[in-house]
């Protein structure tokens, strides 16, 4: 048995979980509603205050999906109750960000500013404190979408190893390299 897959998912207070006949899990909570289509081989049932995920056989594919769908349902549960948050840091001279509605306007050292449209499920805010690097804070109930948006923003200017300039996650550690050694 999958160690993760066999653990039941506890249903938090104020959250309702329904499984449709098309094998789709719908989780509704105080922060919103999330849906996830589940593979038809994996069985999901709501038993009291828990969601149980079972697999039909010990095939490699079923074993892989067992833990995956348990983790996805758990993330949905956390998303609709607490939500998820990612923080990006802009390291570099003149790097800055501004948020207008669902658009982020970033100056990342290119000739033009980069304007990125965010999905409606993601909320963003930009923080610029004196003496610190500008930060972009992203919040959403969908962990997968949040990670994808954060990775897209980071890919616009990845942190480079010599000066450490670029867009990085706030908890990311950038390994620095020594520069070119001087002649003699």
Domains in the chain: boundaries: 9-81, 84-169
Does residue 86 register a pLDDT over 90? Answer: yes
User: What's the predicted TM-score (pTM) here?
Assistant: 0.88
What 3-state class would DSSP assign to 62? helix
Mean pLDDT within 72-86? 94
Give the fold, CATH level 3, of 9-81: Outer Surface Protein A; domain 3 (3.90.930)
The superfamily in CATH containing domain 84-169 is: Ribosomal protein L6 (3.90.930.12)
Q: How far apart are CA 9 and CA 164, in angstroms?
A: 41
Mean pLDDT within 90-118? 94
Q: Under a CB-based contact definition with an 8 Å cutoff, are residues 96 and 107 in contact? A: yes
Q: Do domains 9-81 and 84-169 have the same CATH topology?
A: yes
Measured between alpha carbons, how far is residue 63 from residues 23, 58, 106, 176 in Å?
Answer: 18, 6, 43, 40
- pLDDT for res 121: 93
Q: Under a CB-based contact definition with an 8 Å cutoff, are residues 41 and 65 in contact? A: yes
């Amino acid at each position: 048995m999958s160690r993760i897959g066999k653990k039941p998912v506890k249903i938090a207070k104020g959250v309702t979980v329904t499984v449709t006949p098309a094998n789709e899990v719908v989780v509704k909570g105080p922060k919103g509603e999330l849906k996830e289509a589940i593979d038809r081989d994996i069985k999901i049932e709501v038993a009291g205050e828990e969601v149980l995920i079972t697999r039909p056989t010990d095939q490699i594919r079923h074993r892989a999906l067992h833990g995956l769908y348990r983790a996805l349902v758990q993330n949905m549960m956390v998303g609709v109750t607490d939500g998820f948050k990612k923080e990006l840091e802009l390291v570099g001279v003149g790097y800055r960000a501004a948020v207008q509605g669902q658009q982020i306007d970033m100056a990342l050292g290119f000739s033009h500013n980069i304007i990125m449209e965010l999905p409606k499920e993601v909320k963003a805010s930009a923080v610029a404190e004196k003496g610190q690097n500008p930060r972009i804070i992203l919040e959403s109930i969908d962990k997968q979408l949040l990670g994808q948006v954060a990775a897209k923003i980071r890919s616009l200017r990845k942190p480079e190893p010599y000066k450490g300039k670029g867009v990085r996650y706030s908890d990311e550690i950038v390994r620095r390299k020594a520069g070119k050694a001087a002649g003699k």
